[in-house]
Structure 1
Amino acid sequence: MEFVVVTGMSGAGKSRAISAMEDIGFYCVDNIPPQLIPTFHQLCRSAKQPFSRVAVVTDIRGGDMFNTLFDSLEQLRNERMDYKILFLDAADFVLSNRFKETRRKHPLADSYMGSLEQAVKLEREVLRPVRERADFIIDTSFLSPAQLKERISSLFLGNASDALMIHCVSFGFKYGVPAESDLVFDVRCLPNPFYVEELKNLTGLDEPVRSYVMRWEQTKGVVQRLISLIDYMLPLYCDEGKSQLMISIGCTGGKHRSVTLAQLLYNHLVEAGRRASVNHRDIRKL
């Protein structure tokens, strides 16, 4: 099990980091007391369906409880429970500006009569030993949310493009366009197997229907251009930090042409090493 302890300076982007980790398949828990980390590690590892990737956030919000972090980490090590530490950091002036812009209160502000600058300095001193032991350090001072997500993805996936999950959906326009669609393609312009008697009751998952749909030059032209367009756009979505993309392909009833092309697109994405799923929403409707 991959277990990551996420910590760092308040305002450095831990919430965004944990959201990015959720997007790439981590089970995440925010603001866990340090003394519960070993118990939670054991719980996740011994579950009926053990978690493969877990991330927990613990930081100075825990007050005095945060002082038990090293004891908990030592317990993990003694019990041979593997873990990594991800530390989020940023320059002091950046942290101060972020708190001023969001009008949020620093967790240690009360210790210095509301002085934000002193609170940041105190927190940095408290966290210095943790930072020194961190396996990964990300300075978010000049990172956009999309760039932070790319850094997280590159650390834990090896390739930032792996963070994008692509959902291919076939549907019938007579039943409505999927509301969650990011891209919608209408293939009702292609020859329709519905009007071929021996194909009418089959679907785009059946070879006779696939062969019929793909025999036409119109279809070949659409497929070529569709795949070229998607291949061009996916890196752009990755650069923007998008985590999920739904590509919906529709025909009249959602049983023949759209199913064939959605399945073809899904197969192409998987062969290209993309994270993808396919769902034929209306394939069983009359």
Structure 2
Amino acid sequence: MTDPAQTAARLVLVTGPSGSGRSTALKALEDIGFEAIDNMPSSLVPRLVRARLERPLALGLDTRNRDFSVNALLRLVEELASLPDTVFDLLYLDCAEDVLIRRFAETRRRHPLRPDLPPADGIALEARLLEAVRSRADMLVDTSALSPHDLRAEIVQLFAPQGRGAMGVQVQSFSYKRGIPRGVDMVFDCRFLNNPHWQPDLRRLDGRHPAVAEFIMQDSRAQPYFEKIHAMVDSLLPEFAKEGKPLVMLALGCTGGQHRSVAMAEKLANALARGPWRVSKRHRELERKAGMEPPANE
């Protein structure tokens, strides 16, 4: 018997604040076989998709569209979600306001909503306008710490044909000093574990180094804690998959995001990779460090 999910048309609506990476995401979708159209007036979308889609289709819509309104966009989303024989997803690319301000400053662009004012004014207004759309999103990708290359990898993981049928699981480490990552489904705190930062020979290393991981796991609380996390996540992932969730995001945090959370995230990702899931891992503060941004100290 033919799987209906394999014969259904694929439709993705990509939106989010200006500067969040929509063009990069659409290009990545185009590279994996989608027909990609950006800045199409939302009033024309129903006519475009009324006929049977011959190829997967990705549409980029945002506040720059000449007929944009939040209510109209939400109505369009509900209309597209109700199309028969169509798998529809609203992909929202989110980004922290301070990062958007920096991106506009680096490119010397004016914000489309407030071209005569500083970009911060337009960014704040756009965030308020899109709040309801963000809440409706089927998929949310926070691009604040992502390079264009990283964003492309995220999109490929979510939408590449070879990835269908297996839910994605992203395990990431972070520093509580920089805040909990946006869009995560479960957060685990590693700050109570023994801290390698206070060991002079381990301080300059990170949690991927065997010596750091060994030091952390020597803490009598570490292995029981890991086993509880693994057991809970392992029991919940099949339930997420039954609900059709394409990506589950797990975050493990410590004070500086260099040692304890990194080691535990590596251990959890490796354990989950032995299951049926498509597992990826990110270390937010290590990526910032590699990008020459000073990390928060442990």
Secondary structure in 2 matching 1:95: helix
Q: Does structure 2 retain, via aligned residues, the 8 Å contact 1:76–1:82?
A: no
Map Cα deviations across residues 98-145 of structure 1 (whole Å, 9 max, x no partner).
1111111111114xx412112111100110111111111111111111
Aligned partner of residue 149 in structure 2, secondary structure? helix
SS of equivalent to 1:138 = strand
1:114 aligns with 2:113: no
Change over 3 Å in CA distance of 1:78–1:16 after alignment to 2: closer
AA of the residue aligned to 1:85: L
Q: CA RMSD in A?
A: 1.9
Q: Deviations over 1:43-65 (max 9, x none)?
A: 4x2xxxx4231100000001553
Question: What CA distance in whole angstroms lies between the structure 2 residues aligned with 1:41 and 1:145?
Answer: 29
Per the normalisation by structure 1, the TM-score is 0.50
Q: Deviations over 1:161-209 (max 9, x none)?
A: xxxxxxxxxxxxxxxxxxxxxxxxxxxxxxxxxxxxxxxxxxxxxxxxx
Alignment of 1:176-255 (within 5 A): none
Offset, 1:83: 1.6
1:72 aligns with 2:73: no
- Partner in structure 2 of residue 95 of structure 1: 100
Query: TM-score, normalized by length of structure 2?
Result: 0.48
CA distance in 2, matches of 1:20, 1:35: 25
Q: CA deviation at 1:21?
A: 0.5
Query: Per-residue CA shift, 1:37-92, capped at 9, x if unaligned?
Result: 2211124x2xxxx4231100000001553332122223334554542101111110
Listed as ranges, the matches of 1:155-194 within 5 Å are 155-157=158-160
Identity %: 40
More helix by share: 1
One-letter amino acid matched to 1:74 = E
Q: Secondary structure at the match of 2:68?
A: helix
Residue correspondences, number: 153
Once residues 30 and 82 of structure 2 are traced to their aligned partners in structure 1, the CA distance between those partners, rounded to angstroms, is: 28
Equivalent in the alignment of 1:272? none
d(CA) in 1 for partners of 2:82, 2:90: 16
Aligned partner of 1:172 in structure 2 is: none
Which residue is 1:54 aligned to? 57
In the alignment, structure 1 residue 3 sits paired with structure 2 residue 11:
yes
Give the Å deviation of 1:32.
1.0
Conservation of the 8 A alpha-carbon contact between 2:35 and 2:57: yes
Instruction: Give 5+ residue unaligned stretches, structure 1.
Output: 161-286
2:91 paired with 1:83: no
Q: Does 1:154 align with 2:152?
A: no
Distance 1:38 1:63 in 2: 16
> Structure 2: how far apart are the matches of 1:151 and 1:75?
27
The question of whether the paired residues in 2 share the 8 Å contact of 1:33 and 1:66 is answered with no
Q: 1:158 to 1:82 in 2, by over 3 A?
A: closer
Q: If you compute each CA radius of gyration, which structure gives the higher value, 1 or 2?
A: 1
Q: Secondary structure at the match of 2:54?
A: coil
Alignment counterpart, residue 127 of structure 1, candidates 94, 106, 130: 130
Counterpart of 1:96 in 2: which secondary structure? helix
Q: Secondary structure at the match of 1:15?
A: helix
Matched-pair contact (CA < 8 Å) for 1:6–1:85:
yes
Corresponding residue number in structure 2 for 1:260: none
Mark the CA change 1:92 to 1:82 in structure 2 (over 3 Å): closer, same or farther. Answer: same
Counterpart of 2:25, as a letter, is A
CA distance in 1, matches of 2:160, 2:149: 16
In structure 1, the partner of 2:43 is: 35
Unaligned 5+ segments in structure 2 are: 1-8, 164-298
| 2:144 counterpart residue number | 141
8 Å CA contact retained: 2:17, 2:127? yes
Aligned to 1:238: none
Q: Is the partner of 1:62 in helix, strand or coil?
A: coil
Contact 2:33–2:56 under 8 Å retained in 1: yes
Residue aligned with 2:39, SS: coil
